[in-house]
Structure 1
């Protein structure tokens, strides 16, 4: 019976004590020890497995962290690209708005230019065009420059401002000689000292007192193509012989010098030393340009048309 019992002896300072365990208790202790040993090994296995899983999880976390940082960098890059694209689009919008404004301005300029060219046709005394083409515009420009050239070098317009005509060109009763004689010019009634202007570009042939003719103070201007103009009975002379003058330039002051019955300006137009009626030249301007060539009969205009084709450029453009 004793072999089937387990005796446990505990020794303390007070002495030794013995405990006797039965067979069942031994089995329970053995089972407990076995379970403890198994639990130890199982726990170690689980701990190793858990450690491996934690390492794997840590690696995954590190990988995710790297991917997250990479994603953040990519987002920052994309944000920078989006900001740059937005800035570029804004600049393009500004440029587009500028282009639209420029197109509108160009359109307005073209309309204004077309209106000006149509107005130029009216100024030139031409029939209106259905449309303003570039060829038509070029022809109008050539024609305008051509007319302006002739209007600058040939006598035209009044030599004195806004004053009435006393005597015209032609036969008249001379106020001093008391008989009919040829009056070679036009007399403009004017107060002494009224400004007198050159009616075309030219050179001063004579400027001063001309006693033999009775013109008193006289200015003679030489112009292109054989024309001359005379300005007589002046109270003052503002130019010198041998100098050049331009159309509209002040050349003298009206007066009553020489054989004269009152202050006025005697104005003549001569062609190759022969007096011709100044009236068509006074009325001549850019709108009635062709009128001079039909009204003034004493000049061989046909030879001038051969030298300068005049309106042929425009006539060609109209065909």
Structure 2
């Protein structure tokens, strides 16, 4: 006769006997139940964690996209502004030592003030106060010279037509010429004259401009580059000053290879010539040469307002 291990449990309600086989069944059942509960709980936690990770990845991607968009406009500086940027950086680093180094820094401040066209300060003005004025003036010039059209958009042999009334070469009647025409060979690089966003890029049949690029800049300014052979930017793209945006051509209503260049402000065509001559060495000239724009209203804007909080 085979021996069996019998376990007897005695309570107030009586006694009950269990063989080892019965106990094993209960233990296995309990184990399976616990395993199933553990599996479902773990699965729920895994699903929740996965959702949270996906949300974090989406948030990270959105932040990365926003960061990339913000990088578009101030990456490259033109040669005419490099000396100003270097001088301003040096001034910021050593500004706290101005009191102890009045003689040395006084010379550097004088050079920077001359570059910026700042009038000489009276004898009671401290070096620190002069540095703050120079910093504000540098901020104003950087803001304006990067955000408002200036300089030429192309290396050209000569200008063939200027802004104003003229005899149209195709229509054979006097009409307003809203820009400047540069005589160039087909395929000459065309550059943006200020930071901005591409509002249109492609073939514009209705205007007669053929392949063209239209860029929106700061303060309501807009530039147009027409009769191109090839467009190198896309609509809604951020472009920086000096970036190549196309190649000159002879597309649209044109009698020969050239670049038609316009400067507009709130849809009003302006003579591009004062903007083409405008730069660091004659910064204040634009405010008197272009009378169509109420420049005086800019004085309240940051960073043009020198008294704005730092």
TM-score by length of 2: 0.61
Matched, 1:121 2:80: no
2:203 to 201, 206, 209: 209
Give the alignment of 1:213-292 within 5 angstroms: 213-292=207-286
Query: What SS class does the counterpart of residue 287 from structure 2 fall into?
Result: helix
Deviation at 1:207, TM superposition (A): 0.4
Query: What SS class does the counterpart of residue 175 from structure 1 fall into?
Result: coil
Q: Deviations over 1:33-74 (max 9, x none)?
A: xxxxxxxxxxxxxxxxxxxxxxxxxxxxxxxxxxxxxxxxxx
State the Cα RMSD in Å.
2.5
Give the alignment of 1:81-92 within 5 angstroms: none
Match of 1:135 in 2: 129
Distance 1:156 1:252 in 2: 18
Distance 2:207 2:264 in 1: 16
2:293 to 282, 288, 299: 299
Distance 1:281 1:274 in 2: 15
**Structure 2 vs 1, CA of residues 112 and 157 (structure 1 numbering), >3 Å: closer, same or farther?**
farther
Moved more, 207-216 or 293-302: 293-302
Contact 1:143 1:311 in 2 (8 A): no
Distance 2:278 2:139 in 1: 16
Distance 2:235 2:303 in 1: 34
Match of 1:95 in 2: none
Q: Which runs of 5+ in 1 are unaligned?
A: 1-105, 314-319
Q: How many residue pairs are counted as aligned between the two chains?
A: 207
2:168 to 166, 174, 191: 174
Contact 2:299 2:305 in 1 (8 A): no
Query: What SS class does the counterpart of residue 288 from structure 1 fall into?
Result: helix
Match of 1:185 in 2: 179
Query: What SS class does the counterpart of residue 289 from structure 1 fall into?
Result: helix
Moved more, 188-197 or 134-143: 134-143
1:154 to 130, 148, 159: 148
Q: Which runs of 5+ in 2 are unaligned?
A: 1-97
Q: Deviations over 1:78-135 (max 9, x none)?
A: xxxxxxxxxxxxxxxxxxxxxxxxxxxx9xx987755443332232233456888222
Contact 1:148 1:286 in 2 (8 A): no
By percentage of residues, which structure has more helix? 1
Match of 1:194 in 2: 188
Contact 2:214 2:222 in 1 (8 A): yes
Moved more, 176-185 or 293-302: 293-302
Contact 1:118 1:129 in 2 (8 A): no
Q: Deviations over 1:144-178 (max 9, x none)?
A: 12211111111111111254211110011111112
Match of 2:41 in 1: none
Deviation at 1:309, TM superposition (A): 7.6
